[in-house]
Structure 1
Amino acid sequence: MSGFDLLHPVVQHHVVNTLGWRSLRPLQEDAVAPVLGGSDALLLAPTAGGKTEAALFPMLSKMAAEDWRGTSVLYLAPLRALLNNLEHRVQGYARWLGRDAAVRHGDTGQGARRRQVVERPDVLLTTPESLESMLVSATLDPHVVLADVRAVIVDEVHAFAGDDRGWHLLAVLERLSRLTGRPLQRVGLSATVGNPVDLLRWLQGSNHPGVPAVVVSPTAEAGVEVDIELDFVGSLEGAATVISALHRGEKRLAFADSRRIVERLAGSLRERGVETHVSHSSLSAAERRRAEAAFSEGRDCVIVATSTLELGIDVGDLDRVLQLGAPGTVASLLQRLGRTGRRPGTSRNMLLLAADDAELLRAFGLLLLWSEGYVEPVLPTSSPRHIAAQQLLALALQEGRVGRNTWPEWLGGLPLAPSESLPGLVDHLVGTGHLDVDEGMAFIGPETERRYGRRHFMELMSVFTTDPQVTVLHGRDEIGVVDPMVLLEKVQGPRLIALAGRSWKVNSVDWTRHRAYVEPAEGRGLARWSGSRALLSHALCDAMRRVLLGADPAGVGITRRAEGRIAEARSQWANRVDRERTVVLREDEEVRWWTWAGGRANALLHAALGVVDPELLDPDRSFDSVHIVLRADVGPGRVGAAVRSIVGHFGPTLEGVWPDVDRRAVEGLKFADILPLGVAEHTLAERLVDRAGAGNVVARGVVERRVG
């Protein structure tokens, strides 16, 4: 019997007659049996691969067959915009069966929230943060409102799993499972990942091993061609020139990996007469919706975006995807590539535009990995002790009081912190006033009330930090937010800022309320946001090394300009790479160890050198993803001897070595300040290591070279 035949007859009818489908897509067909059977599942397909329907059609069929009542299915996603985008579609599917669906997140009005408590939707689309807000709410009883939940669909689960939001998600699901008194069926939707079995095991949490689990990942659909091209344009202005000249009359989605570059590129395109829209996280929700709607309805236009449009938000049929530089991972490349090729007879396509040599080399390396079939594994962050502390406070809010020694039972054995450290964590929270205790029960203390009590403890529900920002207003319309420094830098004449792809003149700033009042202006505005540069992975840096040694990605169109430029780079950088060993290069009175190991491996190697031979290290500069800076007077053979000493002291994977952690970096770890300082520093240090990558480097040995 086919998957389609297993669906509820009403769902079958509407698939054929309302949607006009002749059949289900492979993923949808293969997902029906395991989801209907109650298995936990991970459904893998490219963007627009039909994952939402693959989960919902059997889940709605099961809801009807078993007569689930109340809010029985949660649909969780990482972005409010994605939920808004899905609401109408999910609501339509639910109404086939006389059921309802609704969205609940930070932008949902109080009236809608009250209706959802009285008339509980069968499917609730929400974020983990909003779900936790319901668990701790003083205005609704989660033991009633959420008592009927039986299944959870987690969209873009790979986007959760790689950072602390993933642990927060799992912890909230464990608390909800305990509250309902039943295991919750968990279905994850994801783009292609390198370790799907591990990802599903992680998503299962306490369901493992009691609940069956299956990865559903059908063979890629035949007939979908892939067209990837790489060009060298030399500058941001060069990129704008190419984009404005190519593919006229088509809808183009252009990705850039910083908000500043998005704004600059959008401004340059508009100066060239291109209808341009903008989407990034610092724009207001209304501004993003306006831009995305205008782009969706347009034909000859470009929308420039950060990763906000990577996660499946529908902006209509796209003709082209453009990428300024290169994303940091193959997984991200696949996600963006998958935005195209949705219409029959069209190809998945991407044009990468490198603005400088570093971008060109990174793009070559990424495409080499793609051509080799490599996709990064999604690895949960290690030992999120700060999330354990946050969950303890949230539990105390939810239940009023929790057992000082029994509270971990709510979290289903999740490895948020070593079990032996949990009593000390409670002692610290009591000692700092975040918790009070009475007869073995813990409850919210005055310090938690003081720090997090505003807006119904909303700040306690979010596990990621946000930089101090100023809201930009044109009249009563919110445009977005900017870094305060863009409003403080000295300027001659009117202060112009760039936001939403347009220039604005700043008329006044209310620093008390963090608001800037603007009006449209001509000329180029300044765009700036704070943020740290991402560390590149060992796999990507090693691929860049192999490119410099002559490797080329298969199946990629390389323009003549890009070919010529990479040939120059191979010639200029030849002394920095070696087929067998790493390179210590003396050049222009500088000594650098070219490891090509990735940022986390280099952090570990730098720390290990500091132990075995600290005089090797430059006191003013440290390392990046491809090299480590050494003192200029390092003698011949000394680095090789230090590497051998590292292996002798710590073994081939450098066990026991931890990188130094900057106190300012600890401040970027949400809730680190409710941990003991040493615990917070160690938590962050554990995230800055790649022992396998560092071990690969020390195993290869060192060759020394001199230039000039």
Structure 2
Amino acid sequence: MSAFNLLSEPIRKYIRDQKWESLRPIQEAAIQKIIATDNNYVLISRTASGKTEAAFLPILSKMNCKEKGVKVLYISPLIALINDQFMRVEKLCEYLDVPVTKWHGEASKGAKDRLIKAPEGIVLITPESLEAMFVNKPYQIHHLFSTLDYVVIDEIHSFLGSDRGIHLQSLLQRLQKVNTGKFSTVALSATVSDQNNYAELKDFLGDPEHTKVIRDTTPKPINAVFKYFEGQTKELPLDLLKDLYIRTRDSKVLVFPNARGKVEEVAVRLKKLSERVGGHANYFSHHSSVDKEVREYVEFFAKKSTHENFCISCTSTLELGIDIGNVDEVAQIDATHSIASLIQRVGRSGRREGKASNLFLYATERWSLLQSLACWLLFKEQYIEPIAMSQKPYDVLVHQLLSVVKGSSGITLDKLTEDLTGNAAFKNISAEEVTEIIDHLTAIDFLEKLGPEYIIGIEGEKVVNTRDFYTLFHTPVFFRVVSQGVKIGELPLSAQTRPDENIYLSARIWKIKDIDYEAKKIEVAPAKDGKKPLFFGDAADTASKIREKMLEILISDQKYDFLDEPGDEMIRQMRKDFSIYGIRSHQTDRPLFSGNDKLKFYSFTGSKINRTLSFILNRVGIENQLHESESKFEIDFSKKSEFISVLKDVNLNTINFDEALTELLDNFPDVLNFSKWGEFLPIKYQIELLKHRYFDFEGCNEFLQNLNFIENK
């Protein structure tokens, strides 16, 4: 029987009314499998290939709409994505008379109340809103979700390898425990590596044996053009912006710089260029600091602009699958930190059937150009970074431990330990370790023992009874940015944020007039003095495979037809610079340059291994300066023999770093800022987090064992 005929009649009518000529490949495959079995499924297919419908068409055909209780729980990483998907799912569910409810902080209270009164249909939620329900109204979890049939996880790749992902994994396990039967999970993704046969991905869903992956490998053509404009200042080169403007003025475009400040600079300067030549005025910025109403207007404008062109300069806020209609081209300014991020962004263009994706990549610095090439070539080789799941997420355990205690009216040690060790998210953490962490939380008044039961302690109440508790990521203190009573957006406070400075925000330049620290408000006015605005941005880690590919490019003579002349010349020059080493293997050989007073070592390895190397060198008294973007260490020349001896002879497996890491935490407690809940752990577990999440001693040891120094001739 065809996939279409397996669907229920109301769903078939929906498809006919939409005038679909046929089902997409991922939909054909998913319908056949999901209707026939109760397995978990991961649907992997390129952006805009119909994954949402691939999940919901068979699920809605299969579910019993007459049974009480919520039947499908859709989990999304973004509120904006929920709002976007709500309209698509609601339109589909109208054919079945199945209600769809959004459940998040900005959703209608009336709709939530109606759902609580009569639980049914489909609920769209974020992990944080689900957490809030577990903590504050655990009875609602039972009331709403005890008869779930399906959980649908959108953009699952955005969760994997992060604390937020482990948090979601734990919530799924807790949901399964309150379910009267067993719900199935369908996860959706455009970019997941098939390294290790998807083992980590299957494990994430808690039942690897009954989790199957359906992947649509249909390639999508991508037209790529790489251009190089040497940047001399913090501002983007004018020639780059002129080229970008000319190439995109007659198109619908997304531009991805790598920082909020750059996003605003692009929007402001392209808009000015357009004004000078009488072009369109539809230049916008879109990132987390832009006011929510402004972001929603930008999304609405883009989606409805069938005849008007536009350019949205954005961060990763538009990297995921929010539907903004048809985009002709994507421009990336400087290298993304990961291949997955680059491909997710490219996939936002050419969403119409049969259309190619178009990528313009602009590099302003030679190492950024080299990293961009490496990411692109690895993608062409069908490589995407594999998932790196934390084996012992002690910090997430702290959060979930507090959540479980708060959601109960008192819980015994045996029951608390059983709940946590029985949760697949913490399967590698022993009962003894859980008990030790509980004892520590009790000692610091996060927990309190009353008779045989634990409740939240005095210090714990201060943390648990805040909205910030529901998240696994740091939420910086944002100040409202206001001009004459009108909210422009929000900015995190920093040492740079002070009166008389200029800032970019909402595609304009503003001057800071006053900062009200008590009200958390920044008063601004339009800037007219030409003073250079401040830039804001965060760096991200880069994988070892990308750095190895960068070296491979440098020792090859391959030409790239997608690279412009200045870019080609810069790569030729870099190859010439590195030709003095005579490197033969990009996997083991590493350049060591001896100059008059400095020793330069190019490790060409990942960010975590570089941090580990720098830490080891400092520990043995060899001061070093790490230039992460170049994967380069600078050391005083007088330390050359000592440096070589340390890296050649060291075996990290024989070294106890606990004392050194304890000192590091004592002197630089901010080093643990990558973990929101790590500071509440006993020191021994903080050290474990540093070893496996901030540093990479195992990877560093393997790197050093295979290291072959190649000195300049």
Q: Could you say whether these structures have the same fold, taking a TM-score greater than 0.5 normalized by the shorter chain as the test?
A: yes
Structure 1 residues 44 and 523: CA distance shift in structure 2, 3 A: farther
CA distance in 2, matches of 1:442, 1:507: 50
Name the counterpart of 2:573: 568
Name the counterpart of 2:517: 511
CA distance in 2, matches of 1:496, 1:689: 37
Tell me the TM-score normalised to structure 1 length. Answer: 0.90
Name the counterpart of 1:599: 607
1:618 is displaced (CA, Å) by: 1.3
Aligned partner of 1:287 among 287, 294, 297: 294
Amino acid at match of 1:285: K
Name the counterpart of 1:545: 551
Task: Kindly report which structure 2 residues correspond to 1:205-604, keeping only aligned pairs within 5 A, or say none.
Answer: 205=206, 207-209=207-209, 212-220=210-218, 224-235=220-231, 236=236, 237-273=238-274, 275-298=282-305, 299-411=308-420, 412-416=422-426, 418-419=429-430, 420-453=432-465, 457-475=466-484, 477-485=486-494, 488-489=497-498, 491=500, 495-522=501-528, 528=534, 532-550=538-556, 552=558, 557-575=562-580, 578-580=583-585, 581-604=589-612
CA contact (8 A) 1:153 1:187 kept: yes
Amino acid at match of 2:424: L
Percent identity (aligned): 26
Kindly indicate whether residue 11 of structure 2 is the aligned counterpart of residue 3 of structure 1.
Answer: no
CA contact (8 A) 1:365 1:544 kept: yes
1:163 is displaced (CA, Å) by: 0.7
Q: Secondary structure at the match of 2:227?
A: strand
1:191 is displaced (CA, Å) by: 1.2
CA contact (8 A) 2:202 2:212 kept: no
CA distance in 1, matches of 2:383, 2:328: 26
Amino acid at match of 1:418: I
CA distance in 2, matches of 1:553, 1:483: 44
CA distance in 1, matches of 2:339, 2:318: 16
CA distance in 2, matches of 1:407, 1:576: 59
Deviations 1:513-532 (A, max 9, x none): 11123344446676557654
Deviations 1:182-233 (A, max 9, x none): 332111101132136224323322x344xx2210002315xx4221111112
Moved more, 294-303 or 161-170: 294-303
Q: Secondary structure at the match of 1:246?
A: helix
Structure 1 residues 345 and 400: CA distance shift in structure 2, 3 A: same
Q: Secondary structure at the match of 2:187?
A: strand
CA contact (8 A) 1:321 1:350 kept: yes
Name the counterpart of 1:34: 33
Task: Kindly report which structure 2 residues correspond to 1:128-207, keeping only aligned pairs within 5 A, or say none.
Answer: 128-138=127-137, 141-195=140-194, 197-205=198-206, 207=207
Name the counterpart of 2:278: none
Moved more, 77-86 or 175-184: 175-184
1:108 is displaced (CA, Å) by: 1.9
CA contact (8 A) 2:499 2:514 kept: no
CA distance in 1, matches of 2:554, 2:113: 61
Q: Secondary structure at the match of 2:284?
A: strand
Name the counterpart of 2:277: none
Amino acid at match of 2:215: S
CA contact (8 A) 2:74 2:122 kept: yes
Deviations 1:278-316 (A, max 9, x none): 111122221211122223334322101111111011111
Q: Secondary structure at the match of 2:592?
A: strand
Q: Which runs of 5+ in 2 are unaligned?
A: 275-280
Aligned partner of 2:688 among 657, 682, 686: 682
1:241 is displaced (CA, Å) by: 1.2
Moved more, 390-399 or 521-530: 521-530
CA distance in 2, matches of 1:484, 1:161: 29
Structure 1 residues 113 and 474: CA distance shift in structure 2, 3 A: farther
CA distance in 2, matches of 1:539, 1:620: 23
CA contact (8 A) 2:226 2:362 kept: yes
Q: Which runs of 5+ in 1 are unaligned?
A: none
Q: Secondary structure at the match of 2:69?
A: coil
Moved more, 84-93 or 381-390: 381-390
Deviations 1:244-287 (A, max 9, x none): 11133211111111111111111111111263111111222212
Considering only aligned residues, what root-mean-square deviation do their CA atoms show, in Å? 2.7
Amino acid at match of 2:570: R
CA distance in 2, matches of 1:436, 1:149: 34
Kindly indicate whether residue 638 of structure 2 is the aligned counterpart of residue 626 of structure 1.
Answer: no
Q: Secondary structure at the match of 1:107?
A: coil
